[in-house]
Chains A and B, each alone.
Chain A
Amino acid sequence: MGKGMLIDLTKCMGCRGCQVACKQWNNLQAVPTEFNAEFTNPPVRSAYTWTTIDFLITEVDGKTVSTFTKQQCMHCEHPACESVCIAAAIKKTKAGPVTIDYDKCIGCRYCQVACPFGVPKYQFDKATPKMQKCTMCADRIEAGMETACAATCPSGAIKFGERADLLKMARERIAKGNGKYIDHIYGEEEAGGTAVLYLSGVPLDLTKLKQGVTEEEVPNFTWKAMRQLPALLGVVGLSSLGLMAYSSRRNAVAAAEEGARSGAGAGKHPSKGGKHHD
């Protein structure tokens, strides 16, 4: 199994060091931003901002609760984006990251429609745009390093490692946490499993993690239809050929009857009656 990240939301203090590290390592340009009530800054992820700390400030039982959710590509174990990519530009690598090959991408933007987490972002502002998203620092992983965000995080909220180990670690933390965590590892089952995993101390609807994500492997949604194409071809092909044979016969019989009635002899190519020039 490949690498992943375990993000412990109870440890995050909202410093946004990961956002800065991400921009720095990946050479992402700064974007104009604006003040907003929830302090998420920049307010939305884009082709130039691959990860954000999403702030959520609400009231629960009269008490103000504020949570910080680090968001980026989940690096699904069975990525919808990879399965729909017309150009085979998106690949789930053995090492764990899901990456986009800019030289192959044609910009159809189907991956944006398909991703259950709404992750891929396009450079709509460019005449020669690229599809962008978090790469889980695939280049750093190749060089034996951990992701930039994990390396930066001062509170140890982001752990980088083998997904299997991280899952074990997460289970231990829940078991030993004395109720500090809710009993759910986000990403263990979501979208059929993702390389990025989350632990939360509050119910998930108090975080910015996407709710109601399917637990099925998303590529199966379309594959179930596509794998029936051979059968569809068989049915349509055979019935077409059958109809063709039947119609030839019907036309021949009709022509013979016609011939017998008029006594002029049957036409030689009864089925080609429509071939007329004008």
Chain B
Amino acid sequence: MTSFGEYRLTRGKGALWLLFAAAIVVSIWRLFVGLGASTSLSDTTPWGLWKAWDVIVTVPLGASGFTMAFVRYMLKDARYEQIMRRSVIWAAIMYVSMGARLAFDIGLPWRIMNPLVFWGNIHSALFEVAWCVALYLIVLLVENGPRVTERIDRPWAHKLEHAIHWVGPAFVLFGVLLSSMHQSSLGTLYMIAGKRLDALWYHPWLNYIYLLTAVAAGLSVTILIEAVSSKMYKTPFQTNLLAKLGAAVGVALGIAFVWRLASLVIEGSVGALFRSDISSYLWWVEMLIGYVMPLTILARGAWRNDRRLLTWAAVGVLYGMISLRMNVVFTGMNEAMGASGYWPSLTEWLSSIGWTAGTLVVFTFLAEKLPGVLGDRVKKV
């Protein structure tokens, strides 16, 4: 006996499925024509939209998983159970999707597992990211396993569920460790550039800035999932619980903010803020929307307990997270790599947008098929 939920295909979801399908077609087409014909990549822009958005940004967008598992199992706060379920399944979708997208970005996709299986280089931050992500996929499988097994009324499923329940906390801890490693190592990637990276984004410990902003972004993603889910599926928006997460976001973001500014002062780069060129404007926008705005909201109890304001703060945090990563890859390295004026090709856009649409619509699919994800609703839809 199995009892999965029913999936309702609406026009909006249909459009997202179509975009997703288009992205997959583009990705397969890319295999035949090569990177040169399908992208704007070149020797002066070896890493483009697919690396920046589909890997370096997508991984922290999935940071909702380890942060919420931490809240639920390390802080052992059972009130967060339903919130955690949605955050963890979202994380699984992001990571699987990221892995697939990374495969299409590398020159020889069928070799993606080779470094893990045959040979590797422990000095490479990318190697470390690859290993952690591969292992973390197993953790996500375990963390999400009960959503499936609980729907299957068979002895083996019950046994499996019991086993998962038993080993769960160990896996959660493993997942937290793996995430601390790969979220920070994504920052390590560009540390190899040293001061070739523009002073605005250069930071001697970019790895820890990436980890802090991944934590902040992960919890912000959780807040946004709750906001959307409460609209779409009438799940309760538990403002008091989410405001507590908001406070944690504030702490992580605040540390990153102060540390970034302090490093600018220590490196003597404050002058760069007033260069009045596009990159310095981008820095200001990143700071105001991504740090100042959310920190202002999150610092006040009354404000972060306001559903609207809390949601806005979360959006700001995500903007800041994405902006930092995009600026490091593009704006900050532009001059060092030879200022080639890279702009993603149509197929790069289509692929990135389509795969991203795919993550959204697969979430709706799993949420509706696996009722344990949504849990009790305020009102049936």
Question: Which residues in A have some Cβ–Cβ distance to B below 8 Å?
Answer: 44, 46-47, 80, 83-88, 104-110, 112-114, 116, 118, 121-122, 124-129, 131, 214, 216, 218-219, 221-226, 229, 232-233, 236-237, 240-241, 243-244, 247-248, 250-251, 271-278
For the complex of A and B, 5 pairs with smallest distance between CB atoms: A107-B107, A274-B78, A124-B36, A274-B81, A247-B76
Q: A87-B120, A106-B106, A127-B31 are in contact. Are A271 and B192 (CB under 8 A)?
A: no
A271 close to B76 (CB less than 8 A)? yes
Of the listed residues A83, A108, A226, A272, the one surrounded by the most CB atoms of chain B closer than 10 A to its CB is A108
Is B138 an interface residue when CB atoms closer than 8 A count as contact?
no
A243 close to B75 (CB less than 8 A)? yes
Q: A84-B125, A122-B46, A222-B125 are in contact. Are A106 and B76 (CB under 8 A)?
A: no
Residues in A neighbouring B338, C-beta threshold 8 A? 118
B371 close to A278 (CB less than 8 A)? yes
B119 close to A104 (CB less than 8 A)? yes
B375 close to A274 (CB less than 8 A)? no
Q: Which of A83, A214, A244 contacts B74 (CB 8 A)?
A: A244
Residues in A neighbouring B118, C-beta threshold 8 A? 104
A226 close to B33 (CB less than 8 A)? no
Is B115 an interface residue when CB atoms closer than 8 A count as contact?
yes
CA distance A208 to B117 in the complex (A): 42
Closest residue on chain A to residue B127 by CB atoms = A86
Q: A106-B108, A127-B34 are in contact. Are A274 and B192 (CB under 8 A)?
A: no
B residues 190-208 touching A (CB-CB < 8 Å): 190-196, 205-207
Q: A83-B124, A107-B108 are in contact. Are A127 and B74 (CB under 8 A)?
A: no
How many residue pairs at the A-B interface have CB separations less than 8 Å? 195
Closest residue on chain B to residue A112 by CB atoms = B46
B107 close to A278 (CB less than 8 A)? no
Is B169 an interface residue when CB atoms closer than 8 A count as contact?
yes
Closest residue on chain A to residue B194 by CB atoms = A221
Is B100 an interface residue when CB atoms closer than 8 A count as contact?
no
Residues in B neighbouring A225, C-beta threshold 8 A? 125, 184-185, 187-188, 191, 205-207
Measured CB to CB, the closest approach of chain B to A253, in angstroms, equals 12
A274 close to B195 (CB less than 8 A)? no
Q: A104-B114, A105-B108 are in contact. Are A86 and B126 (CB under 8 A)?
A: yes
A128 close to B184 (CB less than 8 A)? no
Interface size on B, residues (CB 8 A): 73
Measured CB to CB, the closest approach of chain B to A57, in angstroms, equals 20
A-B contact pairs, 11 of them (CB 8 A): A84-B123, A84-B192, A86-B127, A86-B130, A88-B121, A108-B107, A113-B190, A114-B193, A226-B128, A236-B180, A274-B81
CA distance A241 to B75 in the complex (A): 10
CA distance A46 to B36 in the complex (A): 13
Closest residue on chain A to residue B110 by CB atoms = A106
CA distance A126 to B371 in the complex (A): 47
Of the listed residues A110, A113, A118, A219, the one surrounded by the most CB atoms of chain B closer than 10 A to its CB is A113
CA distance A104 to B113 in the complex (A): 11
B76 close to A248 (CB less than 8 A)? yes
Q: A86-B121, A104-B114, A233-B177 are in contact. Are A127 and B32 (CB under 8 A)?
A: yes
Is B380 an interface residue when CB atoms closer than 8 A count as contact?
no
Is B306 an interface residue when CB atoms closer than 8 A count as contact?
no
B192 close to A109 (CB less than 8 A)? no
Knowing that A107-B107, A113-B192, A222-B189 touch, tell me 20 more A-B residue pairs with CB under 8 angstroms.
A47-B43, A85-B121, A86-B124, A86-B127, A88-B119, A106-B111, A116-B196, A118-B43, A124-B43, A214-B194, A218-B194, A222-B188, A225-B125, A225-B191, A226-B122, A226-B125, A232-B181, A233-B181, A236-B177, A275-B81
A118 close to B337 (CB less than 8 A)? yes
Measured CB to CB, the closest approach of chain B to A271, in angstroms, equals 5
Is B242 an interface residue when CB atoms closer than 8 A count as contact?
no
B79 close to A274 (CB less than 8 A)? yes
B34 close to A126 (CB less than 8 A)? yes
Measured CB to CB, the closest approach of chain A to B280, in angstroms, equals 20
Is B286 an interface residue when CB atoms closer than 8 A count as contact?
no
Q: Which of B42, B173, B184, B195 contacts A214 (CB 8 A)?
A: B195
Closest residue on chain A to residue B40 by CB atoms = A124
Q: A84-B126, A86-B130 are in contact. Are A129 and B165 (CB under 8 A)?
A: no
